[in-house]
Amino acid sequence: MNSSLSFSGSDMASSPSTPPNTGSSAMAPPSSSSSRYENQKRRDWNTFGQYLRNHRPPLTLSRCSGAHVLEFLRYLDQFGKTKVHTNMCPFFGHPVPPAPCPCPLRQAWGSLDALVGRLRAAFEENGGKPEANPFGARAVRLYLRDVRDSQARARGISYEKKKRKRPPPPPPPPPHPQFPPQMAEDQ
């Protein structure tokens, strides 16, 4: 009985919080973007659950680690729609390439970043412990940062921090600058 996403933890045995799947709640007025977020989060969670069910060898949520999350993110790349140029492509670094090229399509960094955020929230809403949240694993953060930097270079765009959440504190300036100042990349 669709229990593949349930936790084996005993501390939530008395909270059957999952409503029956009626599948008919799509008539909600599109007034708030938060309900759209909630719907997207639910879809993402279902997608991840499906991924776990199809995983070989079998994988349960409670045994899911950051490494499995990375596996999931790489798996999603085959459905990506964002052209990411390779180093050898003549359009490497061009935001708007003038001609087609055979470079692969990937999931855009922004999509992955938002997806991980939604799944991280969903994990805890579904009974997962924050300290065991695989979507908050350090490896996942590092992977996302790596994807962001490499896609910024490959696509010739910069991802500005427009999010209102929590801007990271700026790093303290080094006392003795040892490197020449960086040149602006998009001149």
Positions in the binding site for Zn ion (CB under 5 A): 85, 89, 91, 101, 103
What are the tokens at 50? 């499906």
Size (the chain), residues: 187
> Which CB sits closer to Zn ion, 56 or 81?
81
Shortest distance (Å) from residue 110 CB to Zn ion: 19
Shortest distance (Å) from residue 85 CB to Zn ion: 4
Helix, strand, coil percent content, the chain, rounded in steps of 5: 45, 0, 55
**Contact at 8 Å (CB) between 148 and 159?**
yes
Shortest distance (Å) from residue 97 CB to Zn ion: 6
Shortest distance (Å) from residue 82 CB to Zn ion: 12
Shortest distance (Å) from residue 102 CB to Zn ion: 7
What are the tokens at 105? 């399509």
CA 29-30-31 angle, to 5 degrees, is 90
Distance CA 82, CA 80 (A): 6
> Which CB sits closer to Zn ion, 64 or 154?
154
> Which CB sits closer to Zn ion, 100 or 167?
100
> Which CB sits closer to Zn ion, 41 or 83?
83
> Which CB sits closer to Zn ion, 73 or 154?
154
